[in-house]
Chain A
Amino acid sequence: MNITINNWKIQVNEVATVLDIAAQNNIDIPSLCAHPDLIPYGGCRLCIVEIEGRRGYPTACTTMVEEGMIVRTDTQILQEMRRDMIQLILSEHPAACLMCDDVDGCTVFQETIRKVGITTGCRWCPKDKDCELQRIVEQLGIKELTLPGLYRDIPLEKYDPFFDRDYNLCIYCGRCVRICDEYRKSSVLSLRQRGKLTTIGPAFEASHIDADCEFCGACVSVCPTGAMSEKSRKWWGVPEKYEPSVCPLCSLNCDLQVLTLKNKIVGTVPPGKPHESGGELCVKGRFCLSELVNRTDRILEPQYLYPEGYGIVSWDFAIEKAREIIQGIVPKRSAVYISPSLTLEEISSAGIFAGNILQTSELTSSYIDEKLAAYVNLAKESIALEEVKEAGIIVSIFLNGNYNFAPLTMAIKSAAASGTPYYQIGWINDTASRFARYKVVPFPGKEEKYLNQIISFLENGQSKIQEIRELASALKNTKRGVILVGPQIMSLSNCTGLLDKVHQIVKLTKSKLFMPDQFGNLNGLLSLLKMKPVEEVNRKIKEGKIDLLYLIGDAPVNGRPDVKHLIYQNAFPAPSELNPDVILPTSLWGETGGSYLNSNGTIKKVNPVAVSHGYARSHIEVFSGLAKALKTEDVGFSDEVLTNYISDQMKIKKHILNVIPPAKSKAFSTGSEFPYVLIQEKNPHVYSNLNLGQGIAAFGDLIKPGHVMLNPNDAKILEVKDGDPVKLRSPVKESKFHVVARKNIPRGYIYLITSNSKLEFESNPCYINIMKDHV
């Protein structure tokens, strides 16, 4: 196909819109509502063009190219009409940034001979200098406002976590509404009412949390104006650099871009051009990462525990003290905790340090228990995420995709939306629930029996229950069946039994398996080092066989174990009552380079993009400093040594963890005395020993660790409001909590994300009585 745009002859080999072809050939057509990931909308009308032989002025974003088309994009009349449209937009859009007398001198520093500086570069809008409307006004050379202004006076919306909304700046391009619906398939935002009364938001003025928003930030990314802004970098201005990187907050290790300003990490967005990068990330990757690395409680200097308490010391002194401790330890009498959030290089250096300097094989992580072992042993059969997208049928088992695993939930939703049967087994509703053919709610405490019934149907083709017949035969008879298991299953009492059943179903139906986990590099940790379950190491500590506990980005959960010495190497403060002898501050993600092994088995590299905070050093630097002090210089930590270590270990198949048979879970007691079902989830969101739910207040607002969540209707019956104290009583235990009402909790259920990695009640699920606590 040959077309002509502005007298340029252009060869077109695809079905595309005039706007796309113009953009590909560097012909700029102004537009405010078009977006590469979205269906053309034709809302802003700015991309109007003249096409010979066509009446009027069609919009370039909705017009497909045709053979012999002659297009003009910048005639005088078009520019004049565009200016008029912008004038209309500006009549409702505060425009101080565009019309200020000093706009030309705004960004440059103005030197004066007076003692006081003059005010320049004031910032009225969070998107100043990063605003598409501003750019178009500049392009069209608009210097004055021809229409009287109208301030809509819409109240600012700032009570939801992570981003603020000021719809007075909104130009109704609809990008946020469309990306939420078309791309994320969340459909949280909608255009409410019409005409000049139009507002954007969820149904009935509900808060975003109540409207099931996943806080993926897609709407914020694509907003062309300052109507939506991230709270954490609202007034930072335009980032200097967009550096490619990889997220360390779960096993999917999504690609992302780090925004930096003056060597500081200020934000993270999905890959793509600014304002065009969509919603591929979850809330953790989009908003939590930059808040994590910029936390004010990071350890900045080495500390030493004097008899009087902690004192800030120099690195030389701290290394010397650590050397004294290590030199006094007999080989094999030390144990090492290693965080599954570290990079492959850091894990290798920890492995070399433990093996050659501490000479111990007692390596563990506080998260590696018998359930995680059973989970990762099965997760080895996981397929690549891309295969989930091509599945013939999808069944998810106890997968809670809210605030988690965004690429996976998006794959489920778009597959289901295009007709792939999707079945969801679990109690709590998540963002994918409404796409399910049906949601299977196993009788709490009888989950294993439910899976057993599926197995017996697969084996002998008989079942009384209609839904089991449908689900099992669909799974058996459809090609490319995929079973997804969520790490939430690990919190359930009979997790190991359930995983066994899942394995049997997978074998019987020849389905594929996909099992993500919540750790950035658990795969890497288990591939590189021979880890032991934490119970095994703790038993040795109890037996008095361990003198030194060396904690690398990780810590035991129950305060200080009974060991003579404790060295704590981390970026975040030690939990209370741990009282390490020496504290060595380390750098975090983004400050040192490294790589992660994701659940697909691919190694993803991260480059350093910012400087370490305070006097923090990388883990590898700390280990080589110690090696030098201990005069064991033959043990090297150079890049070459680490790369070889990684490639040697990767050749060996992933180590199989020992599964310690779990203690028999207690019987469930049902009955009218305990009418509610409590589902607990061990707080899974951790990074380098920092609990995201507690460490990042806004994230805590979403997952509410330590609060009991229940259905708003149940809350009404119990006469409790958000934040009220309640008493939970099981046959064995009684405990007090505060309540939060959430719509995604089905009636009769209570959901509790624990504030640490322990469960609060004896079994999970657990039958329970809840009552208002009168103080």
Chain B
Amino acid sequence: MESSNVSFSEIFKMYPVEEGSLIPILQKAQATFGYISVESVEAIAGYLKLTENHVFGVASFYSQFRFTEPARHSVIVCLGTACHVSGGETLLETFQRDLNIKPGECTPDKKFDLNRVACLGCCALSPVVKIDDDIYAKVNIIKLKEMWGKYE
């Protein structure tokens, strides 16, 4: 709580109190803390003299802002045309079943969060799964199980 307050005062220093500062501050907050928390919304609303409801309304309009804490590792399954044809959907289902979460959610132990993406731009390697910054090519279910053993 205390430390996040300190960083907020640093963020706020860079922006004047006006409605136009809202989105830059939200972006900075997300970059600093990884997501927009209830406390962030409260602090931003207090600084810009807006209501929390207004801040949340603006933030939730843009898909770039997330409101849940990111997990330690982010799993992204590609469902672009090529990946879809070569079994991306099955991979996503496997993740969903094994991690017991839906896309956009995070496991209770904060280890993985799961997201889908329309195309990662490497269709020749399909189906593709991205975990953190590693791209896994031509993934199948057996490979999957090996893959996530590496992550803690």
| A-to-B contact residues, CB < 8 Å | 177, 181, 186-194, 201-204, 206, 211-212, 434-435
Those 3 A-B pairs whose CB atoms lie nearest each other, nearest first: A190-B57, A203-B56, A187-B51
The reply to whether B57 and A191 form a contact with Cβ atoms under 8 Å apart is: yes
Establish whether residues B49 and A203, one from each chain, have CB atoms under 8 Å apart when the complex forms: no
Q: Which of A194, A211, A435 contacts B53 (CB 8 A)?
A: A211
The complex places the Cα of A188 from the Cα of B57 at a distance, in Å, of 10
Taken residue by residue from 54 to 65, chain B's Cβ proximity to chain A (1 for < 8 Å, 0 otherwise) reads as: 111110110000
Among A181, A192, A203, residue most surrounded by chain B Cβ atoms (within 10 Å): A203
Question: What are the residues of chain A within 8 A of B41 when measuring CB–CB?
Answer: 203-204
In B15-56, which residues have CB < 8 Å from any A CB? 38, 41, 45-46, 49-56
**A201→B57 CA distance, assembly (Å):** 9
Cα–Cα distance between A191 and B61 once the two chains are bound (Å):
8
- A187 with B54: in contact, given A194-B61, A203-B41, A204-B67 (CB under 8 Å)? yes
Q: How far is the CB of A712 from chain B (nearest CB, A)?
A: 10
CA distance A187 to B55 in the complex (A): 10
Given that A187-B50, A434-B49, A435-B49 are contacting pairs, would A203 and B55 also be in contact in the complex, using a CB cutoff of 8 Å? yes
Q: How far does the Cβ of A177 sit from chain B's closest Cβ, in whole Å?
A: 8
- Which residues from chain A contact B46 at a C-beta distance below 8 Å? 434
Across-interface contacts of B53 in A (CB, < 8 A): 187-190, 201-203, 206, 211
Asked if A204 and B38 sit within 8 Å, CB to CB, the answer is yes
Residue picked from A177, A192, A206, most chain B C-beta under 10 Å: A192
Q: Could you say which of B50, B51, B52, B55 has the most chain A C-beta atoms within 10 Å of its C-beta?
A: B51
Complex CA distance for A592 and B50, rounded to whole angstroms: 44
For A191, the closest partner residue in chain B by CB is: B57
Contact A212 B61 (CB under 8 A): no
Whole-angstrom distance between the Cβ of A706 and the nearest chain B Cβ: 28
- CA A242 to CA B53, docked complex, whole Å: 34
Are A186 and B51 interface neighbours, CB within 8 A? yes
Whole-angstrom CA separation of A435 from B38 in the bound complex:
22
- Point out the residues of chain B lying under 8 angstroms from A211, CB to CB: 51-53
Chain A residues with CB below 8 A from B67, complex form: 204
CA distance in complex: A329, B61 (Å): 74
Could you write out 12 A-B pairs with CB less than 8 Å apart? A188-B51, A191-B61, A192-B56, A194-B60, A202-B52, A202-B56, A203-B52, A204-B67, A206-B52, A211-B52, A212-B51, A434-B46
Contact A193 B51, CB 8 Å, known A204-B38, A204-B41, A204-B67: no
When the two chains form their complex, are residues B51 and A204 in contact, meaning their CB atoms are under 8 A apart?
Answer: no
B49 CB, min distance to chain A CBs, angstroms: 5
Residue of B nearest to A212 (CB): B51
With a cutoff of 8 Å between Cβ atoms, the chain B residues found around residue A186 in the complex are 51
The answer for the CA separation of A593 and B67 in the assembled complex, in Å, is: 55
Smallest beta-carbon distance A167→chain B, Å: 15
Bound-complex Cα distance A357 to B57 (A): 65
Residues from 54 to 81 in B contacting A, C-beta threshold 8 Å: 54-58, 60-61, 67
Task: Please tell me if the beta carbons of B54 and A181 are within 8 angstroms of each other in the complex.
Answer: yes
B38 surroundings in chain A (CB, below 8 A)? 203-204
Complex-state Cα separation, A550 to B100, whole angstroms: 72
> Could you say which residues of chain A place their CB within 8 Å of the CB of B55?
203
Q: Determine how close the nearest CB of chain A comes to the CB of B60; give it in whole angstroms.
A: 5
CB-defined contacts of A191 to chain B, threshold 8 Å: 57, 61
Do A204 and B56 touch (CB < 8 A)? yes
The distance from the CB of B54 to the nearest CB of chain A, in whole angstroms, is 5
Additional 16 contacts, C-beta under 8 A, given A187-B51, A193-B61, A204-B38: A181-B54, A187-B53, A187-B54, A188-B51, A189-B53, A192-B56, A194-B60, A194-B61, A203-B38, A203-B41, A203-B51, A203-B52, A204-B41, A204-B52, A204-B56, A435-B49
CB distance from A212 to the nearest CB of B (A): 7
Contact residues in B for A187 (Cβ distance below 8 Å): 50-51, 53-54
* CB nearest to A417 among chain B residues: B49
Contact partners of A194 in chain B: CB under 8 A = 60-61
Bound complex: CA of A188 vs CA of B58, how far in Å? 13
By a CB distance below 8 angstroms, the chain B residues around A203 are 38, 41, 51-53, 55-57
8 Å CB contact of B57 from A192, A206, A212:
A192
- Alpha-carbon distance A193/B50, docked complex (angstroms): 18
A201 CA / B58 CA spacing, docked (Å): 12
The distance from the CB of B105 to the nearest CB of chain A, in whole angstroms, is: 15
Q: Give the residues in chain B near A188, CB-CB below 8 Å.
A: 51, 53
When chains A and B are docked, how far (Å) is the Cα of A194 from the Cα of B38?
20
Alpha-carbon distance between A212 and B56 when the two chains are bound, in angstroms: 14
Are A193 and B54 within 8 A (Cβ)?
no
Chain B residue, CB-CB nearest to A200: B57
Residue of A nearest to B38 (CB): A204
Of all chain B residues, the one with the shortest Cβ separation from A193 is B60
A212 to B52 CA separation, bound complex (whole angstroms): 10
Q: A189 contacts which chain B residues (CB < 8 A)? A: 53
Question: Which residue from chain B places its CB closest to the CB of A205 in the assembled complex?
Answer: B56
